[in-house]
Amino acid sequence: MPLVTEPTIYNADEANVIDQFLKTGYIIFPVEDLNSLAKIRSNLYENAVKALELDSPPPESDFFDNAQKFILPEYLNEIRLGLIDKLNKNPDNAALFYSLAKNHLGWIVGNEMAIQRSYNLGIQLPKDSSSILPLHSDVWSGNSPYEVVLWTSFVDCHKTKSMYLLPLKENQKIISNFQKYSSMTAEEIFSEVEDKVVWLEVPYGHVVIFWHGLLHGNRINEEEKSRWTVNLRFKGLLTPYHAKELGEYFMPLTIRPITRIGYQYKKPKI
Ligand SMILES: [Fe+2]
């Protein structure tokens, strides 16, 4: 397939990433800084072990996949919310998560960005029906279409242990013919698109960037191990916002000097 982009303008890696994203609306790739991922996971492990008050905790390498052995489903949400609070209060996290995908975010989103203020941690225990996220597009609930999600996993994800999404072309077919689907439940739309969705294969050490306008969600985790993921949104700082605004929901991540100077410029009084 010829590239959509111009390799003479973009370098080869950049052109490939842009090309793939324009075709599918998502990309899975190895993290750009494995140490940052290890640091985020260690912090999460320490906080989880503390919150669960485990006397003899398993080593970090066994903990996440086997969380079903340590977390009772009835306490799952409380534990999850406690860990989200810890993620939100760690001032190093914005830089750590950003470093996982700095180049890719720059190529896909831009070099002046806003980052979501709060981290959303998902824990999908095997067979747990309480953490299902029905098929949806984030653009239906106040996010603008100018945003991507960085989806970071702390375990190997595949099949129903992972999430699914509908790639861009199929997604556009559904959206452009939405009258047909508008009266259906999320479950009914899912059965219509089930054979076209992609279950993301994400080995530990990889992350996903996807456009949250793609229909996506998860089902009951029918695999034997638990899934732990964090999702975090990024957008071009000066691109349109919907209900999720700069300040409350997003904060500036990178602002270039000329934007600061331009923003502060006042027309001289004559
Ligand atoms: Fe979503």
Say how many Å lie between the CA of residue 212 and the centre of ligand 1: 6
Which residues partner with 150 through β-bridges?
Answer: 209, 232
Average the pLDDT over each of 4-13, 183-192, 236-245 and give the range with the smallest value: 4-13
Can you give the pTM of this predicted structure?
0.95
Q: What angle do CA 152, 218, 45 make, to 5 degrees?
A: 40
* Confidence at 3, pLDDT banded by 50, 70, 90: low
Estimate to the nearest angstrom the gap between the alpha carbon of 138 and the chain centroid.
11
CA distances from 183 to 178, 180, 189, 215 (A): 9, 7, 10, 16
Say how many Å lie between the CA of residue 34 and the centre of ligand 1: 25
- Average pLDDT on 250-267 reads 96
Say how many Å lie between the CA of residue 216 and the centre of ligand 1: 6
Other beta carbons within 10 Å of 172: 14
pLDDT at 151 over 90: yes
Contact 145, 139 (CB under 8 A): yes
Say how many Å lie between the CA of residue 214 and the centre of ligand 1: 9
- CATH superfamily, domain 12-264, is q2cbj1_9rhob like domain (2.60.120.620)
Say how many Å lie between the CA of residue 70 and the centre of ligand 1: 27
One-letter identity of residue 69 = K
- Which one has a higher pLDDT value, 2 or 224? 224
pLDDT tens-digit series, residues 84-101: 999 999 999 999 999 999
Say how many Å lie between the CA of residue 67 and the centre of ligand 1: 23
Say how many Å lie between the CA of residue 104 and the centre of ligand 1: 20
Tokens of 257: 């000097």
Say how many Å lie between the CA of residue 138 and the centre of ligand 1: 5
Contact 212, 108 (CB under 8 A): no
Nearest to 26 by CA among 229, 208, 158, 234: 208
Tell me if residue 28 falls in helix, strand or coil: strand
pLDDT tens-digit series, residues 35-66: 999 999 999 999 999 999 988 999 999 999 99
- Average pLDDT on 222-248 reads 97
pLDDT at 5 over 70: no
- Convert 151-197 into a string of H (helix), E (strand) and C (coil): EEECCCECHHHCCEECCHHHHHHHHHCHHHCCCCCHHHHHHHHCCCC
Handedness of CA 12, 18, 24, 27 (dihedral sign): positive
Say how many Å lie between the CA of residue 123 and the centre of ligand 1: 15
End-to-end, the C-alpha distance of the chain in Å comes to 58
pLDDT given at position 8: 76
Mean of all residue pLDDT scores within the chain: 95
Helix (H) or strand (E) holding 3: none
Say how many Å lie between the CA of residue 118 and the centre of ligand 1: 14
Say how many Å lie between the CA of residue 200 and the centre of ligand 1: 14
Say how many Å lie between the CA of residue 136 and the centre of ligand 1: 6
- Average pLDDT on 10-31 reads 95
- Give, as residue ranges, everything with CB less than 5 Å from ion ligand 1: 138
- Average pLDDT on 180-204 reads 94
Say how many Å lie between the CA of residue 224 and the centre of ligand 1: 24
Helix (H) or strand (E) holding 17: helix 12-24
Tell me if residue 96 falls in helix, strand or coil: helix
- Average pLDDT on 2-13 reads 75
* Confidence at 178, pLDDT banded by 50, 70, 90: confident
Query: For residue 242, which phi and psi values (nearest 5 degrees)?
Result: -105, -135
- Which one has a higher pLDDT value, 2 or 148? 148
Say how many Å lie between the CA of residue 120 and the centre of ligand 1: 10
Say how many Å lie between the CA of residue 143 and the centre of ligand 1: 10
